[in-house]
Amino acid sequence: MKSLIKNAAGRKIFMAVTGQLMVLFIIIHVIGNSTIYFGVLNSYADHLHAVPFLLWVFRLVMLTVFLIHVLFGILLTLDNCSARPGSYAVRAYRQSTFASRNMIWTGLLICLFLFYHLLHFTFQIIRPEVSAGVNSDAMGRPDVFNMLVMNFQHFSVTLIYILAIVALVLHLSHGIQSSFQTLGLNNERTLPVITKGGSIVAYVLFFGYIAIPVMIFIGILHG
C-alpha cells in the first residue's frame, strides 16, 4: 500500500478508482435530481436525510474520495509539469483534446464549484433566505423544490451552474475513458468503444444536469 501511495503509477490507480466512484455518485445524483420532473423531489430529499448517521458516513467517504482525487491530481500534475520543462515553438497536437490537456483546470473549477454548491444547497449558507431549511413545503418537509426555483430564476446563479457543468463535462469526457485505461480495463477492441462511451456518458450527464437550471430559468419548471 505504501508503494501505491508513494509511486506515481499507484497514485494514478487511486485517481482512477476515486474518479470512477465519483462518476457513480454523479450518476446517482442526476437520477435523484430527476425526481423533480415527477414532483417528488422534496420527498426524495427527505428520504435521503432519514438516517443522519448513514448520511454522514456517506458524506465522509465521499469527502475522502474527493480529497484523494484532488490531492493526487495536483501532485501528479506538478510531477508532469516538471517532467516537461519548456515548450515547443510550434506545437501540433494529434490526438489529445482540449479536455485531456486541461484536466487540472476543469478539475479545480469543479472543486471550487463544489464548495459553492455545498454551501449553497447542502449547508445553505449562501442565500439562506430561500433555503429549504428555512422554508417548508405543504407537508412540512424542507422545500427543496422551491429553493431551486427561487435560485435558478437568477441569471447569475444559473450561469455559475452552467459553467460548472461545462467544466464537469469536459473533465468527464476525458476522465471516464482515461480511468478505464489506467485500470487496464480495456483492450484493443474495447478501447475505442470505451472512449466513445465515456464521452457519451459525459454528454448525457451534461444534459441531465443542465436541464433543471435551464428549465427553471426559462420558466418551463416553475413553482
Partner 1 sequence: MNLTLFVWRQKGPEDTGRLERYEAGDISTGMSFLEMLDVVNDKLIKNGEEPIAFDHDCREGICGTCSQVINGVPHGPEGKTTVCQLHMRNFSDGDTIYIEPLKSKAFPVISDLIVDRSALDRIIQAGGYISVHTGGVPDANTILVAKHDADTAMDAAECIGCGACVAACPNGSAMLFLAARVSHLAMLPQGRVEAKRRVRSMISAMSKEGFGNCSNHYECHAVCPKGIKLSFIAKLNREFIKAFGYVAEKDSAARPADVSIAD
> What residues line the site for partner 1 (CB under 8 A)?
3-4, 7-9, 11-13, 76, 79-80, 82-97, 100-101, 103, 174, 177-178, 181-188, 191
- Shortest distance, position 34 Cβ to partner 1, whole Å: 31
What does the block give as the cell for 210? 443542465
8 Å CB contact between 171 and 107:
yes
Map grid coordinates 407537508 to a residue: 139
> Which residue number, 41 or 68, has a Cβ lying nearer to partner 1?
68
In 46-144, DSSP assigns E strands to none
- Shortest distance, position 135 Cβ to partner 1, whole Å: 44
- Shortest distance, position 64 Cβ to partner 1, whole Å: 20
> Which residue number, 13 or 211, has a Cβ lying nearer to partner 1?
13
> Which residue number, 94 or 222, has a Cβ lying nearer to partner 1?
94
> Which residue number, 103 or 132, has a Cβ lying nearer to partner 1?
103
- Shortest distance, position 165 Cβ to partner 1, whole Å: 22
What does the block give as the cell for 191? 478501447
Beta bridge partners of 142: 136
What does the block give as the cell for 72? 493526487
Beta bridge partners of 136: 142
d(CA 12, CA 7): 9
